[in-house]
């Protein structure tokens, strides 16, 4: 099937309420219920047809009552307030799973969402240093998430670990981290020292672009 030519590429941070490692990546049930999480991305380079998306940011907050594939999820999308009307329309199509295969991350996660709140347009404070395993995603009144290295419980030194998924739909490789995150919006959150992941990704109509 022919799709509109589009691509978004850049650093991405995600975290959830599970223990380090995230059981989802290993086809295992969540370590806590409900499953709650967030993500943020800075589009260093992107386009949707003739519409450029360079420099824009997106974020989201999620909750599922159990394992993600069981459905019943809730999603609060956040779009960069700097986006023009044309850019907003393009991002809605990408994040909504339009103009792409059903096996993409947007479509797979979207199929598990039962309640999608009205999108918010806001300043998204985003920073991501993959090598250092540090970063943050902040949207006033929605999410405040900080990522730092996992620490060795004996020495206190940074512990490095990574997950490699050659056939993954969200990322092929990500640095593992520890994240604290709180939220006071439609989806209230409060978690400390939970699973965090930092990755550099590129997506297009057929999924991850290597």
Q: What are the sequence ranges of the domains in the chain?
A: 6-205
Please check whether residue 11 is in contact with residue 42, taking contact to mean a CB–CB distance below 8 angstroms. Answer: yes
Rounded to 5 degrees, what are φ and ψ at 68?
Answer: -55, -45
Residue 88 φ then ψ, to 5°: -60, -45
Task: Give the contacts of 113 (CB within 8 A, at least 6 positions apart).
Answer: 71, 73, 74, 75
Give the residue among 84, 98, 103, 95 at the shortest CA–CA distance from 62.
95
Q: List 158's β-bridge partners, or say none.
A: 151
Q: Which of 63, 62, 60 is nearest to 41 (CA)?
A: 60
pLDDT on residue 27 = 93
Q: What is the pLDDT of residues 86-97, one digit of tens each?
A: 999 999 999 999
21-71 pLDDT per residue, tens: 999 999 999 999 999 999 999 999 999 999 999 999 999 999 999 999 999
Name the one residue in this structure whose structure tokens are 């509109």.
4
Sequence-distant (6+) residues with CB within 8 A of 145 are: 13, 15, 38, 40, 136, 137, 138, 179, 180, 181, 182
First to last CA, the chain: 21
CB atoms near residue 115 (< 10 Å): 12
Grouping H, G, I as helix, E, B as strand and the rest as coil, residue 68 is helix
Span 190-204, average pLDDT? 98
Going by their DSSP bridges, the two strands 143-148 and 150-151 should be labelled as unpaired
Name the average pLDDT for the chain. Answer: 97
User: How far apart, in whole angstroms, are the C-alpha atoms of residue 170 and residue 109?
Assistant: 10
- Given a cut of 90, is residue 210 above it in pLDDT? no
pLDDT, tens digit, 9 for 90 and up, residues 117-149 = 999 999 999 999 999 999 999 999 999 999 999
């Amino acid at each position: 099937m022919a799709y509109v030519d589009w691509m978004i590429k850049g650093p991405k941070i995600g975290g959830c309420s599970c223990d380090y490692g995230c059981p989802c990546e290993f086809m295992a049930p969540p370590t806590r219920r409900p499953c709650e999480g967030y993500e943020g991305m800075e589009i260093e380079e992107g386009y949707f047809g003739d519409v450029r998306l360079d420099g824009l940011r997106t974020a989201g907050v999620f909750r599922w009552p159990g394992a993600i594939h069981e459905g019943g999820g809730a999603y609060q999308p956040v779009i960069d307030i700097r986006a023009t009307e044309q850019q907003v329309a393009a991002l809605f199509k990408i994040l909504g799973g339009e103009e792409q295969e059903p096996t993409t991350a947007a479509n797979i996660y979207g199929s598990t969402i039962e309640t999608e709140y009205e999108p918010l347009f806001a300043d998204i404070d985003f920073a991501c240093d993959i090598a250092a395993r540090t970063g943050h995603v902040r949207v006033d009144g929605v999410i405040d998430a900080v990522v730092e290295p996992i620490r060795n419980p004996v020495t206190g030194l940074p512990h490095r670990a990574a997950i490699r998924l050659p056939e993954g739909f969200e990322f092929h490789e990500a640095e593992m981290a520890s994240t604290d995150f709180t939220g006071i919006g439609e989806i209230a959150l409060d978690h400390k020292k939970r699973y965090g992941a930092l990755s550099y990704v590129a997506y297009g109509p057929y999924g991850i672009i290597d």
